[in-house]
Amino acid sequence: MTAWMLCSGGLVVGEDGRVGGQSPDRAASGRAGSVARAVCPAIIARMAFSPLAAVGAVTAVTADGVATFCGTCFLFRHTHVALTANHCVPESAHSLRLELPSFPRLQHVERVERHPTADLAVVFTTSQGDDEGTGYPEGAFWDCVSNLGLAEQYITYGFPTEGPAPDSHGFPTARVFVGHFQRFFNYTSPSGYRYAAMELSGTAPSGLSGGPIFRQGAPQMLTGMVTANIESYAVTDSIEELRDGGDVYRLESRRVISFGVGLQLAPLCDWLREVVPERPGMGWVS
């Protein structure tokens, strides 16, 4: 199935290069050709973007140099800016650093901006020399979108610490999770964070918090970020026994049900623009 992108001129450009339903050669002349040439950088950047390469880990370092894994993060608009969950960035840490597959060296955190109510933090590292800060970022997610639908598929990626043991280097193993949106609701966490949320059909193990939520059709555009896990249970069997002395002994068999929770980024876009301004030179393509 061909994916299409709508350009500001009213024409659509497909991933197969067809412009307004015409072949590239035929569209090269006239209005379709001029629009295609203007949109071309967006198409190239979109096809070159690898969402998994933009995801990394947050580690807290003590004064004596001991590092502890805290959660997942992902690059946003720039290669020196990352988003993560607020609870993944402990204020008590002596220092913080990011470990990203796209960079050979550890990225030391210079500044953290925390949302006043939501479980969201923006982390700044040293600016990368190869990122001029204009146009479409090749190594970071572009922006967030709000057109979400129930039962729509999502993808998330991160470093869960529950389950199989870490890899041979002692670091959590990166894993992809795929599911669908079950509901949208206003969520208040046990820690007091409040935000518009999405309930995920899959679980969100510890360590996956801070991971990006995106869709296969447009992986460079974020829909949300993993923040929490909700558990409930159903009693499948129950036995009560009355003991001598009047004590009642009760034995239950329970089936635990877990759902992941994601923070919707679009309602926080105004705050994000203040903290991380949009890059100049990005003609909007949706």
Tens of pLDDT, residue by residue over 159-185, are: 998 655 555 455 788 999 999 999 999
Dump pLDDT digits (tens) for 32-64.
444 444 445 555 555 567 889 999 999 999 888
Cα-based angle 65, 68, 69 (whole degrees, multiple of 5): 140
CA 192 remoteness from chain centre: 21
Helices (H), the chain: 24-27, 31-48, 269-275
Instruction: Provide CB contacts within 8 A for 114, sequence distance 6+.
Output: 86, 89, 120, 121, 122
Q: How far apart are the first and last CA of the chain?
A: 17
Q: Which residue has the higher pLDDT, 26 or 77?
A: 77
The residue behind tokens 């061909």 is 2
Average pLDDT over residues 201-215: 95
- 3-state SS class at 168: coil
Q: Determine the pLDDT at residue 184.
A: 97
CA 22 to each of CA 6, 19, 31: distance values in angstroms, whole numbers, following the listed order: 15, 5, 12
Tokens of 134: 């204009």
The partner residues of 183 in beta bridges, in order of sequence, read 199
DSSP state, residue 53: G
Model-level pTM?
A: 0.77
> What token pair was written down for 162?
């529950």
